[in-house]
Structure 1
Amino acid sequence: MHNVARAQGYAVSTVRSNIIHNQFEKGFERSGTPNANKNPSKTVTSRKLDCPFRLYATKYAKSTTWTLKVKNPEHSHDSTENIMAHPAFSKFNEQETSQIAQMFESLLMPRQSQAQLFSQRESDRPLIHQDIYNQVRKVKKGKLKGRRPIDFHIDTLKEENFVLSSERDAEGDITSLFFTHPVAIKLLHGFPHVILMYCISKTNNYKIPLFHIVGFSSTNKTTYGAICLMKNETEPSYTWELNQRIEKFLNNTNLVPPPVIVIDRYLALKNSLKKLFPDSKVVFKGDDQSVEKEIKNEAKKIFEDIGEDLFQRSMAEITPIIQHFQDVLTGKVPIDQIPKSQEDYQYFEHPLECKNICGRPPGAKNKNEKKNKREPSRFEII
């Protein structure tokens, strides 16, 4: 039946069946009426075109053959020449289903799985990319074994010997989760001087904040520290997490508070860190302020006690040095044109020798410049 329909450019599917009496009502893939769009704000499509074709297949108990009866031979659509238009011809068999599950366990991407399956399939069986994603989704759902994704995640962390702590509400839902690995704790013991803290909220299905703690090695490489799932990014939430999770984590692992903590422009996190780690220096990362403005802000705190006039005279003397310093870092002044005898060379001698720290990351302020040029932020100069 399927081979005959395929030769005519159609695909047969089961509309309804009665297994007890061995009766099947067959129709084409485009039979039936489209479902009503319950959300008018979204544009939805359907393959159903209300095709009237019907075919009944019956096998009686005392017979070894099937009886076919065509109820309506008409179609409401034309036949197709490309079999890729019929998903019924691209279904996976048991061997391919098992192979996709093994590829998923090996962390292969769906496009890599598609290339391997395509080389093993017959030429008359199409392979649709979306079918692989759908099968991977079924594999993920099977691994949950009825558990919620967050509970499956916690069980996996326990199996991998992660150090974790969680908080649940009255209904049993997890409101906070903190976890790290023993190897990460050793790395933080070896490099406790600078810690980077940042929060992202669009990398999971629930859109909840994901708080990261990252360390820096002596080779200027980042090392994983810990991860914490939070309720929200408000100051009370940060304060509670820092007190209940971070402080206990530092005490239980004998870690000293980091001298320097680098964060994004999260004022709520900054205020919470000042309460918990008053002796640590909190530095903003990747801000858009120029070097001159940052230095002026720091210098003003020093000179505010000795008078505004002295502060203005001091800034008038240091402004040319700051400008020269910016020109060198942004490439406006070639390095070979800087005389060694110049008085202000001492201010940018070290950054020139450490280009990996003072490099020019992607993202230009001026659209006319190349993308690898922009004013360095304060954190990039340190």
Structure 2
Amino acid sequence: MRIVLLFSAWLLSFGALAAPGDVATLDRSTWPEQLTSPTLFDVASRAEILMFARVLLASESLDETSLAQRLGLRTINLDSVNNLRQRMWQRLLTNYNFAQQSCDQDASFCFLVEDLPTLREQAAKFVVSDDSFYIKWSEPSRLFHAQYLDEQLRKAALFPQTSSEVDRFGDYERNGDEMHDRLFLLTFDSAANAIPDNTAWVTEYLRKSNINGTFFVLGKDIQARLAERSVASLQATYSQQCIGVQGWEFRSHSHWQDWQDSVKRSAELVKNKLPENYVPLFRPPDGQRRSDAQGFFESQGLQVALWDIDPQDGAGKLKGSQSAQRVLTLMLLWRHGVINFNVKQDALKTSMPWLITQTAQSGIGWEDCQEAFR
């Protein structure tokens, strides 16, 4: 039985990493096993949870000035940062409890974790020995999680002055927190660029795979497509899929004077032309929206649909293979959630098939888009 050795005295150094703005990715080939069973998914999940927990714990040793410097910011909202850390710890504990249910089948990365103090204790002394089956994964994973944590802490440090998906403004906003273990929702954002638009390719691929997703569209894009083709043709493209809205155009809805009209116009257009696909969800571009918008969204019968697994495939940040491997690592870490691919990036044609194939035998499920956020 492959057991990872522990060294109680090794405190992970929060060493030099990439500069703020760089995107975390992990080469999954460093992990020595394919996810060919639910048990092997759990083994990999336990490993990623423990590694992230160790990095999260180490970050708490930084004072406010040091953390701000690390994140490349002059000032930070420390309350928001600490709130994020607290939510992360609770989710890590819940996830580890799920992941250790298969420890009787494979005891790798199985340690006594009964509550948050014992999780923090195990995180503090977690290390992979040099002769471990998993040693090639260890350092790349540590670097990934340290960089990924920086991404999240930076968003929290700027919240709510700069809004993002890192936190919610109320119960009318939804993300993947409440989803069941091993369940994931595929969502697809639009972007400011008109091309490439991979919607037709993606929807056909999903149908062939017996999966569906939620497409967040721009009102002006739907209007332009209807000028070129029939409603029936557009309905055929989105057959069996769900459609939410991202506003009339791709721009921040936090300081735009006409943001309400943007939401209403796009929702009315989709509801009228694609009623079978329409779901009452608004996805704010780049996660930017107003903090005082609850009354408006409730009056429109809309929920704000956020996400918690970001492929970072927008604006060509990551190649398709890098994006897919990032998503898989975050799926192992968070064990459920909402993924937000960018439908206007060609990287999607590589990343999504790879992800679907890699997880086909892992015991995870894809949430039905009609059931999500209910």
Whichever structure has more helix as a proportion of its residues is: 2
TM-score (ref. length: structure 2): 0.20
TM-score (ref. length: structure 1): 0.20
Bigger CA radius of gyration:
1
